[in-house]
A and B are shown apart, each in its own frame.
Chain A
Amino acid sequence: MQTLTQTHMQTLTRNKRGLVGRLMAPIMALVMGVMIATSPAQALTDEGAKRLVDGIVGDINKVIAAPTSEGQKINDFQRIFNRYADVPTIARYTLGVDARRATPAQMKAFTDAFQIYVSRKYGKRFREFIGGKIEVQAARKVKNFHEVKTIAHLRGESPFEVTFLVSDRSGQPKFFNMFIEGVNMLLTERTEIGAMLDKRRGNIDQMIDDLRRLK
Chain B
Amino acid sequence: MCHTDYGAIVLECHFAPNETIIRKQFGMEKKLYQARSSDMTGSVRRGIMAALFMGLALSGCSTPGPGDVQPGGIYDPHEAVNRRNHELNRALDRALVRPAGKEYTKVVPEPVTMTVSNFASNLSLPGTVVNNLLQGDLKGAWVNSFRFSFNTVFGIGGLGDPAGDVGIYEQKADFGGTLAKWGVPEGAYVELPLLGPSTERDAVGKFVDLFTDPLSYVLPSPEKYYGTGTKVLSGLGSRGRYAETIDSILYDSADSYAQSRAIYLQNRRFELGGDAGSDYVDPYDDQSGGSDPYADPYADPYADPYAE
CB of A187 within 8 A of CB of B298, answer yes
- Given A124-B248, A144-B282, check contact A181 B267 (CB 8 Å): yes
A81 at the interface (CB under 8 A from B): no
Chain B: residues with Cβ within 8 Å of the partner, total of 44
Name the A residues within 8 Å of B170 (CB-CB).
158
- How far apart are the CA atoms of A52 and B117 in the complex, in Å? 36
A87-130: CB near B (< 8 Å → 1, else 0) gives 00110110111111000000000000000000001001101100
State the Cβ distance, B283 to closest chain A Cβ, in Å: 4
- How far apart are the CA atoms of A192 and B255 in the complex, in Å? 7
Name the B residues within 8 Å of A169 (CB-CB).
284
- How far apart are the CA atoms of A93 and B244 in the complex, in Å? 26
B252 to chain A: closest residue by CB: A214
Name the B residues within 8 Å of A93 (CB-CB).
281, 283, 286, 289-290
Chain A: residues with Cβ within 8 Å of the partner, total of 47
B271-296: CB near A (< 8 Å → 1, else 0) gives 10000111011111111111100000
State the Cβ distance, A135 to closest chain B Cβ, in Å: 12
- Of the listed residues A96, A199, A210, the one surrounded by the most CB atoms of chain B closer than 10 A to its CB is A96
CB of A158 within 8 A of CB of B266, answer no
State the Cβ distance, B252 to closest chain A Cβ, in Å: 7
A79 at the interface (CB under 8 A from B): no
CB of A127 within 8 A of CB of B306, answer no
B136 at the interface (CB under 8 A from A): no
- How far apart are the CA atoms of A192 and B259 in the complex, in Å? 7
CB of A98 within 8 A of CB of B289, answer yes
Number of residue pairs A-B, CB distance < 8 angstroms: 115
B169 at the interface (CB under 8 A from A): yes
CB of B284 within 8 A of CB of A198, answer no
- How far apart are the CA atoms of A10 and B70 in the complex, in Å? 68
CB of A156 within 8 A of CB of B117, answer yes
CB of A182 within 8 A of CB of B281, answer no
B242 at the interface (CB under 8 A from A): yes
CB of A165 within 8 A of CB of B245, answer no
B63 at the interface (CB under 8 A from A): no
A77 at the interface (CB under 8 A from B): no
CB of A191 within 8 A of CB of B283, answer no
Name the A residues within 8 Å of B254 (CB-CB).
192, 195-196, 198-199, 210
- Which residues of A approach B to under 8 Å, CB–CB? 89-90, 92-93, 95-100, 121, 124-125, 127-128, 140, 142-145, 147, 155-156, 158-159, 165, 167, 169, 176-177, 179, 181-184, 186-188, 190-192, 195-196, 198-199, 210, 214
Apart from the given pairs A93-B290, A165-B280, 19 other A-B contacts in the complex at a CB distance below 8 Å: A89-B284, A90-B283, A100-B289, A124-B244, A124-B248, A128-B245, A147-B280, A156-B114, A158-B170, A158-B172, A177-B283, A181-B270, A182-B266, A186-B283, A187-B262, A190-B290, A195-B254, A198-B255, A199-B254
